């Protein structure tokens, strides 16, 4: 629908024989383009594609395949570190909770005194500020120290990194603002339901309270407090502060380990309100083993937990990796593997769809590789722990570097990964389907949801009609089938709302061409990127638009100059030349009325037929030479010219004998 504005038309009587009187008619009124708020366009999400952790260890996922990275030679993180890239995967900075290094591995001038402690399970995490790609918050946790019958700790704090400082290299603008004390060694984060803000979640000490702080465009908000599950405390038993806490990638669940009490607990999480509710728990009963690491599968349906001997070295009990099918809560876990002589501790899901696990004997006797769960969405032994293409002990090498007990701590939503991806969402595009995690696949079968299928690993498919289709992928390995599905929408292309293929432009006037409202981007053949362009000349004009699903379409309209004139004199002498006064060349699809008046204001002629003019006679008698006033009323019937009400033209004509 086009808005219509009232048009003020000014005309003047022009001198000179047969001089044309030209009409100025705006065809379209202006539309204001709405500010972009949300988009469904595919977005680059490579913020977690680069890992720095442990003793100068690194993994680079930016190519789509994990590769060891030994370029970083400045940081040691005994427990979790934190790394942040931009959405394209360019390193911004990283931290061990005490110090912050920029993308050139240079220590930030004002960011060497953060209040995280290197001995804390999850001492730090980095959170971007919504709607501002230059501001980041580093949340840190201090360790608790038992002194004089109570614990002393700086607890949960946050600092602000401003990437505009130091010529774009970043530095701290605020350090160590307090949030919660005392706090346990647990710190995780997940996106709010709005997909812009982030929940940062911590747990109080000697308490069963969760603290969910929303980081939004307004900054760090007051925490949402939930009392759920067990009390993390117990006098001087500080091991009840130890252990990982993670949210599921889809933001619906939360799990943690209470190392001292040998507990693993599962909760529901509301990523809109920040509330936590307890659902189930599991007690590790194996002698001398304590739960520590926690991680969810990419599809959020399975939970993994590590348990190892955290006290009384040397290691006499093998580490255990548990897998829980969350349809059953935390009952009846599967022991995926048992590793003697090793502390298998931290776990972190990666953007390649695999889970990586730190491995070390202790803080001094280290290993230069990490363990891998290659297919974490598959139940039981099918998850292929350290097993790639039926080759056991297939660990990931760190090329002489060591993880110790450390892996990076990320916003878990970065790993809300489908089993397969697709690169097009617009009708008439050919869609390429890809499998990010190709580990342990013998063959595949695709069902595109429209009756078509394919056995190609990365097929191309074109949908005949726009719509939403349930696409199914079946992977076969060692004679076992694993099926995943996702709803893929082929969006209809945006429609450009030109009212006609040809729009009339009266000579000497200007019109506004509008490509339609509510699109994300506009590009005209004139180079303009506005939704509306002003046109004053004849020609073909093309507009290309992109909607908020990143679908594009283009259309063109021909603007035709339409010239007409109203004579200012005529000679009704029956010589066949200029014998009749009428409007010449006017557009025919109109309502028309013309009336003429003598110098005393008496109407002497009226016609509603554009082709029926005045022949200079009144009541069958020829009028003497004189000047007469004429009035023409025009109303446009079609949609190629839009006005508000009729247009009234006035002027004078001279009758010459």
Q: In terms of domains, do 355 and 461 share one?
A: no
CA distances from 207 to 227, 236, 240, 242 (A): 8, 14, 11, 14
Q: Per the domain annotation, does 497 fall within a domain? A: no
Neighbours of 527 (CB within 10 A): 7
Q: In terms of domains, do 226 and 313 share one?
A: yes
Helix (H, G, I), strand (E, B) or coil at 9: coil
Q: Per the domain annotation, does 29 fall within a domain? A: no
CA distance 61 to 9: 65
Neighbours of 314 (CB within 10 A): 9
What is the tens place of the pLDDT at every residue in 393-405?
Answer: 999 999 999 999 9
Q: Please list, in sequence order, all residues whose beta carbon lies within 8 angstroms of the beta carbon of residue 118, skipping any fewer than 6 positions away.
A: 76, 77, 78, 79, 96, 97, 98
Joined together, the tokens standing for residue 380 give: 């039981």
Q: In terms of domains, do 101 and 209 share one?
A: yes
CA distance 288 to 315: 9
What is the percent of the chain with per-residue pLDDT over 70, rounded to a whole number?
89
| Cβ contact 408:53 at 8 Å | yes
pTM for the structure as a whole? 0.79
Residue 236 confidence (pLDDT): 59
What is the tens place of the pLDDT at every residue in 467-487?
Answer: 999 999 999 999 999 999 999
**Domain harbouring 469, CATH code:** 2.60.40.10
* Least-confidence region, from 15-29, 352-366, 506-520: 15-29
Q: In terms of domains, do 573 and 482 share one?
A: no
Q: In terms of domains, do 481 and 448 share one?
A: yes
DSSP string, 562-601: E--B--SEE--SSSSSS-SB--BS--SSEEEEEEEE-TTS
| Cβ contact 282:263 at 8 Å | yes
Residue 28 confidence (pLDDT): 30
Q: In terms of domains, do 321 and 461 share one?
A: no
Joined together, the tokens standing for residue 588 give: 């025919």
Residue 632 confidence (pLDDT): 87
Is 209 a residue whose pLDDT tops 90?
yes
| Cβ contact 107:93 at 8 Å | no
Q: In terms of domains, do 203 and 250 share one?
A: yes
Is 5 a residue whose pLDDT tops 50?
no
Is 286 a residue whose pLDDT tops 60?
yes
Helix (H, G, I), strand (E, B) or coil at 336: strand
Among candidate residues 467, 490, 513, the one where a domain is terminated: 490
pLDDT band at 650 (very low <50, low <70, confident <90, very high): confident
Sheet holding 171-180, edge to edge: 124-129, 132-141, 156-162, 171-180
Is 522 a residue whose pLDDT tops 70?
yes
What is the tens place of the pLDDT at every residue in 13-53?
Answer: 222 222 233 333 333 322 223 222 345 676 678 999 999 99
What is the tens place of the pLDDT at every residue in 217-264?
Answer: 999 999 999 999 999 987 657 889 999 999 999 999 999 999 999 999
Q: In terms of domains, do 321 and 335 share one?
A: yes
**Domain harbouring 135, CATH code:** 2.130.10.10
Q: Per the domain annotation, does 427 fall within a domain? A: yes
Is 103 a residue whose pLDDT tops 80?
yes
Q: Per the domain annotation, does 271 fall within a domain? A: yes
Q: In terms of domains, do 391 and 428 share one?
A: no
pLDDT band at 498 (very low <50, low <70, confident <90, very high): confident
CA distance 269 to 300: 12
The mean pLDDT value for 301-321 works out to 90
Q: In terms of domains, do 227 and 252 share one?
A: yes
What is the Cα Rg of the chain in Å?
Answer: 37
Q: In terms of domains, do 399 and 465 share one?
A: no
Joined together, the tokens standing for residue 252 give: 């619906």
Is 150 a residue whose pLDDT tops 80?
no
CA distances from 628 to 9, 21, 22, 88, 651 (A): 21, 16, 19, 74, 9
Distance of CA 91 to the CA centre of its chain: 20
Domain containing residue 360: 74-415
| Cβ contact 100:115 at 8 Å | no
The mean pLDDT value for 327-338 works out to 94
Among candidate residues 385, 415, 445, the one where a domain is terminated: 415
Joined together, the tokens standing for residue 274 give: 């920040």
Is 646 a residue whose pLDDT tops 70?
no
The mean pLDDT value for 349-357 works out to 97
Q: In terms of domains, do 244 and 198 share one?
A: yes
Sheet holding 647-655, edge to edge: 569-570, 647-655, 626-636, 590-597, 603-607
CA distances from 531 to 41, 341, 426 (A): 20, 67, 21
Q: Per the domain annotation, does 591 fall within a domain? A: yes
Q: Please list, in sequence order, all residues whose beta carbon lies within 8 angstroms of the beta carbon of residue 460, skipping any fewer than 6 positions away.
A: 430, 431, 432, 433
Share the mean pLDDT of the chain: 88
Instruction: Identify which has the larger pLDDT, 586 or 326.
Output: 326
Domains of the chain: total: 3
Neighbours of 603 (CB within 10 A): 12
In sequence order, the β-bridge partners of residue 319 are: 339
Residue 4 confidence (pLDDT): 28
**Domain harbouring 589, CATH code:** 2.60.40
CA distance 268 to 181: 24
Among candidate residues 415, 441, 474, the one where a domain is terminated: 415
Is 420 a residue whose pLDDT tops 80?
yes
Q: Per the domain annotation, does 163 fall within a domain? A: yes
Is 647 a residue whose pLDDT tops 90?
no
| Cβ contact 241:185 at 8 Å | yes
Residue 40 confidence (pLDDT): 63
pLDDT band at 312 (very low <50, low <70, confident <90, very high): confident
What is the tens place of the pLDDT at every residue in 187-207?
Answer: 999 999 999 999 999 999 999
Q: Per the domain annotation, does 646 fall within a domain? A: yes
Whether a cis peptide bond, with omega within 30° of 0, leads into 182 is yes
Q: Per the domain annotation, does 477 fall within a domain? A: yes
| Cβ contact 572:655 at 8 Å | yes
Instruction: Identify which has the larger pLDDT, 502 or 456.
Output: 456
Q: What DSSP character marks residue 411? A: B
Residue 502 confidence (pLDDT): 81
């Amino acid at each position: 629908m086009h808005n219509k504005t009232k048009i003020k038309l000014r005309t003047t009587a022009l001198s000179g024989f047969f001089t044309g009187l030209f009409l100025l008619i705006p065809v379209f009124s202006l539309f204001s383009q709405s500010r972009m708020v949300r988009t469904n366009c595919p977005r680059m999400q490579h913020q977690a594609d680069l890992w720095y952790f442990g003793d100068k260890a690194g993994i680079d996922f930016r190519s789509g395949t994990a590769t060891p990275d030994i370029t970083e030679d400045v940081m040691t993180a005994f427990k979790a570190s934190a790394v942040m890239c931009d959405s394209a995967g360019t390193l911004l900075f990283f931290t061990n909770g005490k110090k912050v290094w920029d993308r050139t591995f240079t220590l930030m001038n004002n960011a060497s005194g953060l209040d995280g402690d290197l001995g804390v399970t999850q001492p730090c995490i980095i959170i971007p500020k919504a709607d501002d790609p230059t501001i980041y918050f580093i949340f840190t946790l201090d360790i608790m120290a038992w002194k004089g019958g109570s614990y002393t700790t700086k607890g949960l704090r946050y600092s602000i990194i401003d990437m505009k400082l130091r010529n774009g290299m970043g530095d701290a603008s605020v350090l160590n603002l307090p949030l919660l004390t005392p706090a346990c060694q647990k710190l995780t984060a997940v996106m709010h339901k709005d997909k812009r803000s982030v929940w940062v979640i911590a747990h109080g000490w000697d308490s069963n309270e969760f603290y969910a702080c929303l980081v939004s465009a307004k900054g760090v908000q007051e925490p949402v407090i939930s009392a759920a599950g067990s009390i993390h405390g117990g006098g001087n038993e500080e091991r009840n502060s130890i252990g990982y806490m993670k949210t599921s990638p889809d933001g619906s669940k939360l799990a943690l380990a209470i190392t001292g009490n040998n507990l693993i607990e599962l909760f529901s999480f509301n990523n809109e309100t920040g509330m936590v509710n307890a659902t189930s728990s599991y007690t590790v009963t194996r002698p001398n083993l304590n739960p520590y690491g926690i991680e969810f599968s990419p599809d959020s349906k399975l939970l993994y937990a590590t348990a190892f001997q955290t006290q009384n070295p040397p290691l006499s009990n093998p580490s255990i990796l548990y897998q829980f099918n969350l349809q059953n809560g935390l009952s009846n876990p599967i022991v995926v593997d048992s590793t003697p002589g090793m502390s298998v501790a931290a776990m972190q899901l990666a953007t390649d769809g695999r889970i990586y696990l730190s491995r070390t004997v202790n803080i001094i006797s280290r290993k230069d590789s990490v363990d891998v769960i290659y297919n974490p969405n598959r139940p039981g032994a099918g998850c292929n722990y350290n097993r790639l293409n039926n080759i056991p002990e297939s660990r990931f090498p760190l090329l002489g570097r060591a993880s110790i007990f450390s892996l990076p701590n990320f916003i878990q939503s970065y790993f809300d990964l489908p089993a397969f991806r697709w690169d097009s969402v617009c009708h008439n595009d050919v869609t390429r389907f890809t499998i990010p995690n190709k580990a342990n696949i013998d063959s595949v079968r695709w069902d595109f949801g429209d009756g078509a299928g394919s056995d190609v690993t990365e097929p191309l498919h074109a949908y005949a009609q726009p719509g939403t289709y349930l696409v199914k992928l079946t992977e076969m390995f060692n004679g076992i089938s694993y099926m995943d599905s996702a709803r893929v929408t082929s969006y209809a292309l945006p429609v450009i709302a030109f009212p006609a293929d040809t729009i009339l432009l009266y000579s000497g006037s200007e019109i506004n061409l509008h490509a339609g409202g509510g699109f994300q981007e506009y590009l005209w053949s004139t180079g303009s990127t506005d939704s509306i362009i002003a046109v004053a000349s004849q020609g073909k004009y093309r507009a290309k638009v992109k909607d908020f699903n990143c679908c594009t379409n283009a259309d063109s309209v021909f603007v035709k100059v339409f010239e007409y004139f109203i004579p200012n004199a005529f000679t009704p002498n029956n010589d066949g030349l200029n014998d009749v006064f009428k409007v010449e060349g006017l557009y025919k699809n109109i309502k028309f009325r013309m009336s003429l008046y003598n110098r005393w204001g008496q109407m002497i002629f009226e016609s509603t037929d554009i082709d029926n003019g005045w022949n200079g006679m009144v009541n069958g008698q020829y009028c003497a030479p004189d000047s007469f006033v004429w009035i023409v009323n025009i109303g446009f019937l079609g949609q190629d010219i839009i006005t508000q009400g009729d247009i009234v033209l006035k002027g004078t004509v001279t009758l010459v004998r």
